Amino acid sequence: MLAGALIISEPVSAETLSEALSDAYLNNPRLLAERARQQADDEVIPQATSGWRPKVILDGSVGYEQERTTPPTDHSNRNNSTIGLKLSQPVFRGFRTLNETRSAEAGVRAGHGRLREIEQDVLLSAAAAYMNIIRDEDVRRRRAENVQFLRNEVKVTTHKFGEGELTRTDVNQAKTRLHQGLAQLAQAKADLAGSKAGFASLVGHLPQRLSRPGSIASLLPNRLAEAIQVALDENPKIITAEYQITAAKHDVQAVRGELLPTINLDASYERSHNVSRAFDRQDRGIVELRMSMPLYNSGITLSRIRQARATVSQRKQELINTQAGIQAEVITAWENRKAAHTRIASARSSVTAAVASVKGIRIEAKAGERSVSDVLDAQRELVEARISLANAERDQVVSSFTLLAAIGRLAPDRLNLDVTIHDPSENLHMIRHPSVGDAIAEFATVVIPPLREAIY
């Protein structure tokens, strides 16, 4: 196991955070949709590179021709046919194909960055949902224990009231706290149910018994400055913004190419039968080099160049804004993680002190030195201290994952998840270098079904 991988402190029968994250990585519909979106976006590269390749068209016709003259001196009937092959090979397109291809490649790389961003977001959301359940289970348990304590307190208070040791006010105070506790327990159960539903929507199944994860501190930088630098280098949002700038620059050059000449090599061959009474067959072949150059096209190209340049400026400012936002995310996550660590230590001390306080006040109450209100207040402080501890423990784990995502390293390989890692470059390679078998299979899948439907 890699250093810093999730450490499990509960029996293996419990669902671990690693398992939950693996399920989310494999099954989350938002992530699956994003992968499909990326596969669709990959197709812009072969569409752009098609400008390098020729176009070949096969056409033909068959017909029947009947000719009559008036007065009827002659007539003819002919079955004629024509078949032809045309080829057009781009020779020069003003460097448009080159720049369109480079823009498409940069756009696809930007899409890979967006996919990584969604992967991080899904994994972070799944980790937060996992910890929400652990926290809410703890809160529900503490609320249930509090209700049990208050039921017993109402019973004892009522008994002592009957013996004249306490007043009706004491009984009413205990009952009031009991009703408050019941309401809090109901809300805790509702919060837990909501957290479980949120978990299922992310991971793909309802949670069973969950185990508490260990620390992922070894995956995080030791200093804030280091964390910020890693984020600026590796955060997928920044990578996406950088590739968008590259794509926008090539878009400018591609539009400029529309002002340059376009040269095509065209060739055609045509064979005709019975097209004239003068001959039975005619063969015709043409090879020509065509050049066209726009001299004036209403100013639309110049306008599009200005538009593309403005887009470059926009992308640059978006990068600056993204970098600033990422730095803020890193600092916020860093400070939240530090605060959660301090809160845990404080909450643990509070719980220890509150347990001792409840025990001591109950003893003093039996001796008549403390009121019912003192006992109830001490119990409430204990419950709130335990809930504060549960919240702090949850926040420490979530802030650690948030920081890991902010620096761009919340990834299945770094978490040592038991999954086959999705590599978007594999689909890109297949598109760029299709095998003969892939081409035949694609033809059979795309072309044959419509033909079959047209025939039948």
pLDDT of residue 436: 59
For residue range 151-183, list pLDDT tens digits in order.
999 999 998 888 888 889 999 999 999 999 999
Separation of alpha carbons 233 and 227, rounded Å: 10
Which fold does the domain 17-54+94-259+299-422 belong to in CATH? Answer: Outer membrane efflux proteins (OEP) (1.20.1600)
Give the helix ranges, DSSP H, for 163-235: 168-203, 224-234
Q: Which residues pair with 89 in a beta bridge?
A: 265
E strands, 215-358, are 262-276, 279-292
Q: Which of 385, 391, 382 is nearest to 150 (CA)?
A: 382
- The end-to-end CA distance of the chain, in Å, is 58
**Can you state the angle between helices 372-406 and 300-366, rounded to 10 degrees?**
150
For residue range 381-432, list pLDDT tens digits in order.
999 999 999 999 999 999 999 999 999 999 999 999 999 999 988 887 787 7
Separation of alpha carbons 57 and 212, rounded Å: 65
pLDDT digit string (tens) for the chain, length 456 residues: 334 444 433 434 689 999 999 999 999 999 999 999 999 999 999 999 999 999 999 998 887 776 666 666 666 677 788 899 999 999 999 999 999 999 999 999 999 999 999 999 999 999 999 999 999 999 999 999 999 999 999 999 998 888 888 889 999 999 999 999 999 999 999 999 999 999 999 999 999 899 999 999 999 999 999 999 999 999 999 999 999 999 999 999 999 999 999 999 999 999 888 766 666 788 889 999 999 999 998 999 999 999 999 999 999 999 999 999 999 999 999 999 999 999 999 999 999 999 999 999 999 988 888 889 999 999 999 999 999 999 999 999 999 999 999 999 999 999 999 999 999 888 877 877 766 566 666 666 666 666 666 665
Q: Which of 68, 89, 86, 85 is nearest to 77 (CA)?
A: 68
pLDDT of residue 236: 98
Q: Which residue has the tokens 């009947």?
A: 66
Separation of alpha carbons 216 and 398, rounded Å: 11
Is the distance from CB of 343 to CB of 388 less than 8 angstroms?
A: yes
Q: Does residue 71 have a cis peptide bond before it, meaning omega lies within 30 degrees of 0?
A: yes
DSSP for 215-254 reads: --GGGS-SSHHHHHHHHHHH-HHHHHHHHHHHHHHHHHHH
pLDDT of residue 310: 98
Is the distance from CB of 346 to CB of 384 less than 8 angstroms?
A: no
pLDDT of residue 428: 78
pLDDT of residue 79: 75
CA angle 284, 290, 296 (to 5 degrees): 140
Separation of alpha carbons 127 and 122, rounded Å: 9
| Virtual torsion, Cα 238, 227, 347, 383, nearest 10 deg | 20
CA diameter of the chain: 139
Find all residues with CB under 8 Å of 435, minimum gap 6, and list them: none
> Quick count: other Cβ atoms within 10 Å of Cβ 410?
25
